Amino acid sequence: MAIKRIGSQTVKMANPPSIISTATIVGPKEGEGPLKDYFDLILEDDLWQQESWEKSESKMQEEVLKMALTKANLSEGNMDYLFSGDLLNQIVVSSYSARQLSIPYFGLYGACSTMSESLSLGAMIIDGGFADKVACCTSSHFSTAERQYRYPLEYGNQRTFSAQWTVTGAGASILSSEGNGPYITYVTTGRVIDPGIVDVNNMGAAMAPAAIDTISKHFIDTGYNPDDYDLIITGDLGAIGKSIVIDLMGKEGYDLSKVYDDCGVRIFDNEAQDTHAGGSGCGCSAVVFNGFVYNQLLNGSFKRVLLISTGALHSPITMQQGESIPGIAHAVTITNVKE
């Protein structure tokens, strides 16, 4: 019997796991943004002395996890599972990173929703009694993503104003069955929602309906409303997707205006850094959550946060075949006290 399930899409942790440490690595552009003081390592060169951008991104994942383990005074041998994923074909960044680590590994693909997806699965496996310590990790890289999903960088194509800038960054969280918080208390798993968008340069509009669906289901399932949260933050909808969420959630009777933000809006100064609609990519919510948001939970500025990482579940092949872009959004409630 699913005794921990409440409502249609949410589970409530009976023994909420603690996020005992986090770590972040970002690229030079992210290190010039408004959240620069919350990142552990800012790279001077996004190749990071590697032969390719793909190898650089894999190194970022490996090193950010090691940083998080060091902060928690743990080693790879202390970890029961690693949940990680990325944007590249066959999640090669995560798998090649995992081959350097002696941790049982689950590779995930949730596109840019992977941070919340990994936190969801990590929390449930600990709460279920299957593990004591789990690592959750994801990354993205501007150069690896651009040449896979859009155009070769050498092409120098003009970016539309609705386009977003893929974040070069990696974030890791270490979850434990013991600890002093912050705690993951609820998980709301998203459904695949397809609004029919076919423009790969308008990810915000493609993913916003999935975020709206998951947030609404979370409120219905838990009985919470926007006033119960200090921050509700989506993963990488950017300025366009954020405005859609505020507008359509308002029509459903939820006023998010006082507590809602988006990681893709927060990570860059869109005008000064010429990022158009904002940031995107797996690394977007990974570094904003594991850096800025986690810090605010630790110091008590936030007491309850709803993180909804959002992903576009398309590929270069589906785009070439004229398919629309489905979206997904997974939500986790993180509190600085057990509930």
Give CA–CA dist 22/280, Å, rounded.
20
213 dihedral zone (left: phi>0; alpha: psi -120 to 50; beta) = alpha
Yes or no: is domain 183-335 CATH 3.30.70.1520?
no
Asked whether the predicted pLDDT for residue 155 surpasses 60, the reply is: no
Q: Residues 217-273: pLDDT tens digits?
A: 999 999 999 999 999 999 999 999 999 999 999 999 999 999 999 999 999 988 888
Q: Is 0.85 topped by the overall pTM?
A: yes
Topology given in CATH for the domain delimited by 17-176: Peroxisomal Thiolase; Chain A, domain 1 (3.40.47)
Beta bridge partners of 193: 327
Q: Residues 79-127: pLDDT tens digits?
A: 999 999 999 999 999 999 999 999 999 999 999 999 999 999 999 999 9
Closest CA to 22 of 142, 171, 236: 171
Secondary structure of 116-132 in the HEC alphabet? HHHHHHHHHHHHCCCCC
Type of residue found at 152:
P
Question: pLDDT value at position 275?
Answer: 83
Q: Residues 3-34: pLDDT tens digits?
A: 899 999 999 999 999 999 999 999 999 999 99
Residue with tokens 């926007």: 226
Kindly report, as residue ranges, where domains of CATH 3.40.47.40 are found in the chain.
17-176, 183-335
Give CA–CA dist 34/98, Å, rounded.
31
Secondary structure of 155-173 in the HEC alphabet? HCCCCCCCCCEECCEEEEE
Closest CA to 273 of 48, 26, 54, 51: 26
Give CA–CA dist 273/275, Å, rounded.
6
Per-residue confidence band for 326, with pLDDT thresholds at 50, 70 and 90: very high
Closest CA to 20 of 80, 68, 81: 68
Pairing mode, strands 81-85 and 105-108:
parallel
Question: pLDDT value at position 333?
Answer: 98
Tell me which of 21-35, 39-53, 140-154 is least confident.
140-154
